[in-house]
C-alpha cells in the first residue's frame, strides 16, 4: 500500500488482509499504513527504512507486541542510520532486548564525538 492508492483501495486491501481473504499474508506498506491501523496477530514487522524518530519506530514495531510473540526486523544501513543509533539502542535496552554489538560500538563512537549523551 502507498499514498497513491485511493482510500477505497486501501480499505479493501486492509479488510482482505485482516480477514484472511487476501491472496497473500504479506502486506507491504509505506506510511500509508501508519497510526490507527490495527491488524491483530501481526507476526512480523519489517522496517526496510528506519523511521526518523524513536516514537514512530516504537509504534511500528509495537504492532507485533500485542501477542507478545511477534518479531520486528529493522534494516540498519551505517551510512544512512548512524544518527539514529543512540535512540535505537535506548529503545532496545528499555524493552530488555539484546543490543547488537555493531550498534553498541556505533553509539559509543557517536557519544564520544558529542561529549556524551544521556539515555534518560
Mean per-residue pLDDT pooled into runs of 10, the chain (120 residues): 79 82 74 65 81 86 67 86 88 89 70 48
Cβ-based neighbours of 47, under 8 Å, separated by 6 or more: 57, 60, 61, 72, 73, 74, 75
The whole model's pTM is what?
0.67
**CA–CA gap between residue 86 and residue 7 (Å, rounded):** 36
Per-residue pLDDT tens digits for 36-63: 666 767 778 888 888 889 988 888 877 6
- Output the domain CATH number for residue 103: 3.40.50.300
Are 59 and 11 found together in one domain? no
Which domain does 23 fall in, by range? 1-39
Are 24 and 60 found together in one domain? no
3-state helix, strand, coil in the chain (%, to 5): 50, 5, 45
Are 117 and 74 found together in one domain? yes
Overall domain count for the chain:
2
Amino acid at each position: 500500500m502507498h499514498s497513491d492508492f485511493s482510500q477505497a483501495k486501501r480499505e479493501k486491501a486492509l479488510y482482505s488482509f485482516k480477514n484472511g481473504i487476501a491472496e497473500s499474508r504479506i502486506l507491504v506498506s509505506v506510511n500509508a499504513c501508519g497510526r490507527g491501523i490495527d491488524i491483530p496477530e501481526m507476526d512480523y514487522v519489517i522496517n526496510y527504512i528506519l523511521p526518523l524518530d524513536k516514537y514512530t519506530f516504537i509504534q511500528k514495531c509495537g504492532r507485533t507486541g500485542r501477542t507478545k510473540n511477534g518479531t520486528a526486523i529493522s534494516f540498519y544501513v551505517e551510512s544512512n542510520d548512524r544518527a539514529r543509533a543512540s535512540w535505537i539502542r535506548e529503545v532496545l535496552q528499555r524493552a530488555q532486548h539484546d543490543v547488537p554489538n555493531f550498534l553498541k560500538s556505533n553509539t559509543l563512537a557517536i557519544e564520544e564525538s558529542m561529549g556524551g549523551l544521556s539515555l534518560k
